[in-house]
Structure 1
Amino acid sequence: MAVTAQSRARSDVQPRLRVLQSFRTPRTTTNPYLVQLRDALGASADVRTFSWRAALLEPFDVLHVHWPEVVVERRSRVRHLAACVLFALAVRRASSRGRVLVRTVHNLAPHEEPDRASAAVLRSCDARTAWWIRLTDRTPVPDEARVTTVPHGDYVAWFADRPRAEVVPGTIAYVGLIRPYKGVEDLLDVVATMPDPGLRLVVAGSPADDETRRVLEQRAAADPRVVLDLRYLDDTALVERLTSAELVVLPYRRMHNSGALLLALSLGRPVLAPRTDVNTDLAHEVGERWVQQYDGDVSADAIRRALEAVRADPHPAPPDLSARTWPVVADGHLAAYRDALELARGRVAR
């Protein structure tokens, strides 16, 4: 469902919505997507971050859920089960008495297999979702009549005041959290087969666990061209690592939407990523030079071809992210919230 001038005008004359987001008060490690969403919505709605008290006792119009499995994630099994019970109650409350649950579908499935309690939470959340938000039309939802597509917002303003590094020719980089499905070990193996002495690989980010760290360190030890920076990166370090790369490589074993890809583009760095319908659409949107793609697994040939394509156009126009500014993103969310409420309160016949 497109965001129209009519829907924007409608939000100007109706009462401010009370929106409860499913993430807690942001910390320095919080995904900037969520922080920017909260701030952009705050211009037109009363937005609160999550607490059990707010979800179970305090007034709101919309509960906006992003990753249900994250809401109930706890280190202790007992606390995890308690969180599942409480969230089930919150979901039930959010779908009663004129309130609505709106859910953003960020991925096709959770990145890690949920346990039985988390799976039950996901089913309950799906069953009681009044309206869906998706980041691309390529994402399937249970009911196409109850969905709004709102593109993933950019990170341009978020990192605007961070100093950029000079591009180091021959440097390719993976930057971000290192989780099994992202295939960083595969990238190390591929680089090991590339004899080019001018090639340099930077892997920067926090590994998911000690075993992942051990594997990365073991595979990198024999190649002096590989630089490992295995830690949580603050914004300054993140920008430095990304902007020094000639090419950002995302060797994911599976990919649908990717905040990491949008982050690199927001910093003006070209990306090599798996060929998917979503990434092909993005390449058409922002410019083909900025989103290089590979078929199957990441390979030496794919990296070489991507570097050649990037070097063939050394002074390109910036990637076109005009459809992903946060005022546009906020408008799309507000339209979805109001459509969900109108449907729930019987003001729209469908």
Structure 2
Amino acid sequence: MQQVHPRVLTSNPEPRSTTNPYITMLTAALRRTPGVEVVTFSPRAALFGRYDVVHLHWPETILGLGGRRSSARLARWVLTALLLARLTLTRTPVVRTVHNVEHPADAGPLQRLLLRWFDRLTTHRILLNDRTECPGPTTTIPHGHYRDWYTGPRSPVVPGRLQYVGLVRRYKGVEGLVEAFRSIVDDSLTLGIAGAASAPELAATVSALADGDPRVTLRFDFLSDDELVAAVTAAELVVLPYRFMHNSGTVLAALSLDRPVLVPDTAVNADLATEVGPGWIHTFTGDLTGPDIEAALSAARAPRAASPDLGAREWADAGHAHLAIYRLALSRAVSGVRT
């Protein structure tokens, strides 16, 4: 039987230097995979282009959530509705990678209606871990590592250095990290926080909490890849004090750079600890405390392997696994059976 060579429209535009590395690396992996053709998102491609399957990542990006101008938001909503109508009429199969388990909190009633429409059209979901619960057929394809992406110069490890990197958002608990760190009296420890803040008010809150402690350095700005490498590799321990964590590319970025992490005690992180080997994943329960940080740092100083085991997260494997799902979704659509 001849193999199907699907033409896939992805929900992301052509990757740029500021694109999420996961999207850039997955797009590249798919383009290296024989048997699949990738078409990145544009209004023209979505409404008038030829494609067999749609692959959604964050459908809210099509909606333009976070846009400032009302005219631009309205145009995005119209585009989304037209795309959804096309997909409905043509019965085009929709595959979705589940990055977040809930719709964005800032989505309004119309936006939620359109997002639910996407949900109804989705015929197969790709999970990044086995702990995600979703309706309908699913397949787990682990989030790929970043070893081939973060290749900039590494910093020498600074004894006692703790580091947070990534966007500073309310649910990521950076305020609690600063408070927990300041409760530690050890002057040999330092804390760096680096990443753009989601709101000026949040940056002001974190700054006020850190004020007066010279051990804390703040940088509320986007980091280039090389700056992220330098910050992470200088740390003895990367601390991600999220109030809620399900999938985290930042954890994998730190592990790809051979740095241990302190993260919430969740089933997903417990599975990851088993996967990568001892000494790399350290956890806390409830609200992060100073003793949590001190205990994790002490544990991170114990002997461990030179690098975590990320062998299950190769991008070539991810490319072939995605192609298999596209073919499955397309074959089921042709036969009239929902995947």
When normalised by structure 2's length, the TM-score is 0.94
Name which of 303, 318, 321 aligns with 2:293: 303
Tell me, yes or no, if the aligned pair for 2:258 and 2:306 is still in contact at 8 Å: no
1:224 corresponding residue in structure 2: 214
Mapped pair 1:39 → 2:28? yes
Structure-2 residue corresponding to 1:101: 94
**Deviation of 1:334 (Å):** 0.9
Amino acid paired to 2:74: L
Of 152, 172, 176 in structure 1, the residue corresponding to residue 162 of structure 2 is 172
Q: Does 1:325 align with 2:311?
A: no
Shift of residue 295, structure 1, vs aligned partner? 0.7
Deviation at 1:155, TM superposition (A): 0.6
Structure-1 residue corresponding to 2:260? 270
Matched, 1:204 2:194: yes
* Paired residues for 1:311-350 under 5 Å: 311-313=301-303, 315-346=304-335
State the distance in 2 between where 1:91 and 1:292 align. 43
Q: 1:242 & 1:60 partners in 2: Cα distance?
A: 40
Partner SS, residue 201 of structure 1: strand
The Cα shift of 1:48 comes to 1.7
Is contact 2:241–2:264 with CA below 8 Å preserved after alignment?
yes
Give secondary structure in 1 for the equivalent of 2:90. Answer: coil
Where does residue 72 of structure 1 map in the other structure?
Answer: 63
**Equivalent position of 2:248 in the other structure:** 258
Alpha-carbon distance between aligned partners in 2 of 1:200 and 1:289, rounded to the nearest angstrom: 21
Distance, in Å, in 1 between the alignment partners of 2:299 and 2:163 is 17
Deviations 1:35-55 (A, max 9, x none): 001000012221121111111
Q: Deviation per CA, 1:253-279, whole angstroms, max 9, x where unpaired?
A: 111110111111111110000011111
Alpha-carbon separation, structure 1, partners of 2:85 and 2:338: 23
Cα distance in 1 between the residues matched to 2:87 and 2:254: 36
* 1:87 maps to 2:76: no
Of the three residues 114, 121, 134, the one matched with 2:107 is 114
Does 1:56 find its partner at 2:47?
Answer: yes
Q: CA deviation at 1:325?
A: 0.8
Quick one: distance in 2 between partners of 1:83 and 1:322? 40
SS at match of 2:29: helix
Q: Tell me if structure 2 keeps the 8 A contact 1:81–1:117.
A: no
Alpha-carbon contact 1:147-1:336 (below 8 Å) kept: no
Query: How many equivalent residue pairs?
Result: 335
Distance of 1:117 and 1:79 partners within structure 2: 15
- Deviation for aligned residue 1:111: 5.0
Contact 2:157–2:235 at 8 Å: present in 1 too? yes
- Pairwise CA distance, 1:96: 4.5
1:137 and 2:146 correspond: no
For the aligned residue pairs, the C-alpha RMSD in angstroms reads 1.7
User: Could you report, residue by residue, the CA deviation over 1:76-124 in whole angstroms, capped at 9, with x for unpaired residues?
Assistant: 2332233123212213323443621111111211453321122112100
The 1:65/1:134 distance shift into structure 2, 3 A limit, reads same
Q: Identity rate of aligned residues, in percent?
A: 46
Cα distance in 1, alignment partners of residues 24 and 87 from structure 2: 22
Could you say which residue in structure 2 is the equivalent of 1:182?
A: 172
**For structure 1, which segment, 232-241 or 72-81, has the greater mean C-alpha deviation from structure 2 after superposition?**
72-81
CA contact (8 A) 1:270 1:289 kept: yes
Distance 1:240 1:349, change over 3 A: closer
Please give the alpha-carbon distance, in whole angstroms, between the structure 2 residues aligned to 1:100 and 1:80. Answer: 26
3-state secondary structure, aligned to 1:120: helix
Residue in 2 aligned with 1:6? Answer: none
Q: TM-score, normalized by length of structure 1?
A: 0.92
Partner Cα distance (2:111, 2:229) in 1? 35
Partner of 2:13: 24
2:146 alignment partner in structure 1: 155
Query: Match of 1:76, as an amino acid?
Result: R
Distance 2:306 2:161 in 1: 21
- Distance apart, 1:349 and its partner CA: 8.9
List structure 1 runs of 4+ shifted beyond 6 angstroms: 347-350
